[in-house]
Amino acid sequence: MDIQQIKQRFGIIGNSLLLDRAIDICTQVAPTDLSVLISGESGTGKEVIPQIIHQLSSRKHGSYIAVNCGAIPEGTIDSELFGHEKGAFTGATDNRKGYFEVANGGTIFLDETGELPLQSQVRLLRVLETGEYIKVGSAKVQKTDVRIIAATNVNIPEAIRNGRFREDLYYRLNTVPIYIPPLRERKDDIHLLFRKFAASHAEKYRMPTVRLKPDAVELLTRYNWPGNIRQLKNIAEQIAVIESERDIDAEILIKYLPDSNATRLPVLAEGKNSAKEVSEREILYKVLFDMKKDMTDLKGLVLELLQSNGNVDLQGDNADTARRIYNDMEITSGENSQEIREATPVSFTGTTLPTPVPAFAPNDNGFMEHEEVEESLSLEDREVELIRKALKKHRGKRKPAAKELGISERTLYRKIREYDIK
């Protein structure tokens, strides 16, 4: 059976080379009894791989049991997997067969293996090495002939370093590794999957099928899809139910794409703890601190101009600082803004600056008196100001403006509506 036939039989959609490679490995490993470890993010469809292996193996007439290890409480998982004797613990009113006894001669799929408690990992290792296990509350060793296929979305090597997973069990499970790529690595398959989900929903509920316009297809492809295929299916069904319009453009589609992972923000350097994304609020704080430093430099330059009565020729670093500050900032706030704007220009190397005309005179001691005007540190005001400047710079085009601000186009669209920016 070739790859295309397997896709048709098991309802797999996509032409990704990584996906084809995973299916090809399935066909090669299926006739053997080797253990398989499937890795990939949550929602990528890992559960179909063990079904392919089981159906193409000599065990296809035996039992196939899928166990979600993350959904079973730690106190009862040994009983679920290996069974228990009557009276083994409170509530054990009868003997119970475990999955390894029920699936004897067949296949067990252990999903979310990385969530197994360490005690259960020891028992599982013994089954893999000798085919033996002991029921909870029993001293009798039992044999089982079961093929084990495991899957995880946990970084197992990292879990080993943190003492949460046994290294010897990892190597026993990982005899044949199979990697399922996330949806963002299968961009050509995203629209195909959306069309499939939309068509299936329309057929099930006897309603017209939703279709994506070219701009919506582009947006769909660019999105990061943190929830992978499961998230894509949910969004396709949401649009089909909620929207009365059957031809969906980007403006409609963007309302259904959460911006939690739509863009990748800078991350902190990785240390002992896992890296965390820097929030937009932290980025704004950094911008505010940079602006405050610029204001400090600007005040120094203005003071220098005032003390020299405008007769100063700035060169070198001072000239570069002045150009940068006067290009990036508008000195139009405070009581003296009118005097600054109407001042005569002062020339220095390659740049012309307005000469501030002091609206005050020296006191009796010969020192210039001035009033400190406290600047606004409101995050909202700064955010609105930055958005206005970015939109003005890019002539109202949101995509380049969002890129300039370091946020997603959807986030920019939401903030424009939130702050009523015209």
Residue 265 located in a structural domain: no
Claim to verify: residue 188 and residue 335 sit in the same structural domain: no
Cα angle vertex 65, ends 64, 70, to 5°? 150
- Nearest residue to 85 (alpha-carbon basis) of 131, 126, 146, 139: 139
Residues 27 and 145 in one domain: yes
The upper half-sphere exposure of residue 176, i.e. CA atoms within 13 Å in the direction of its Cβ, equals 21
Alpha-carbon span 262 to 118, nearest angstrom: 36
Domain final residue, candidates 222, 256, 290: 256
How many distinct structural domains can be found in the chain? 4
Domain shared by 160 and 192, yes or no? no
Does residue 93 sit in the same domain as residue 175? Answer: yes
Residue 242 and residue 255 in contact, taking contact as beta carbons nearer than 8 Å: no
> CA Rg, the chain, in Å?
33
Task: Answer yes or no: are the C-beta atoms of 69 and 22 closer than 8 Å.
Answer: no
What's the pLDDT at 316? 54
User: Would you write out the chain's pLDDT as a tens digit for each of its 422 residues?
Assistant: 789 999 999 999 999 999 999 999 999 999 999 999 999 999 999 999 999 999 999 999 999 999 999 899 888 999 999 999 988 888 888 899 999 999 999 999 999 999 999 999 999 999 999 999 999 999 899 999 999 999 999 999 999 999 999 999 999 999 999 999 999 999 999 999 999 999 999 999 888 999 999 999 999 999 999 999 999 999 999 999 998 889 999 999 999 998 744 444 444 444 444 444 445 556 666 677 677 777 777 777 766 665 565 454 555 555 555 555 555 544 444 444 444 444 444 444 444 444 444 444 455 555 555 455 555 566 777 788 888 888 888 888 888 888 888 888 888 888 888 888 87
| H/E segment holding residue 156 | helix 156-161
Q: Counting beta carbons within 10 angstroms of the beta carbon of residue 253, is it exposed (0 to 12), middle (13 to 18) or buried (19 or more)? A: buried
Tell me how far apart the alpha carbons of residues 257 and 109 are, in angstroms, rounded to a whole number. Answer: 32
User: Checking phi first, is residue 163 left (phi over 0); if not, alpha (psi -120 to 50) or beta?
Assistant: left
40 within some domain: yes
Q: Which residues of 352-369 are buried (b: 16+ CB within 10 A; e: fewer)?
A: ebbbbebeeeeeeeeeee
Locate 252 and state its tokens: 């409609």
Same structural domain, 166 and 197? no
161 shares its domain with 248: no
User: How far is Cα 100 from Cα 144, in angstroms, rounded to an integer?
Assistant: 7
Q: What is the pLDDT of residue 317?
A: 55
CB 308 within 8 A of CB 318: no
Given this model, what pLDDT does residue 265 score? 43
The residue range of the domain holding 334 is 280-354
Same structural domain, 130 and 200:
no
What's the whole-model pTM score? Answer: 0.61
Residue 234 is assigned to a structural domain of this protein: yes
In a domain, 364, yes or no: no
Is 89 within 8 Å of 130 (Cβ atoms)? no
Chain Cα centroid distance, residue 383: 24
d(CA 396, CA 414): 15
d(CA 107, CA 113) in angstroms, rounded, equals 15
Residue 90, token pair as written in the block: 């409170």
**pLDDT score recorded for residue 335:** 44
The SS3 assignment for 80 reads helix
Degrees, nearest 5: CA angle 36-38-41: 170
**Which CATH number does the domain housing residue 190 bear?**
1.10.8.60
CA–CA distance, 247 with 29 (Å, rounded to integer): 44
Relative to beta strand 247-248, strand 211-212 is: parallel
198 domain residue, yes or no:
yes
Per-residue pLDDT at 407: 85
Quick one: pLDDT at residue 352? 47
- CA–CA separation, 325 vs 380, rounded Å? 22
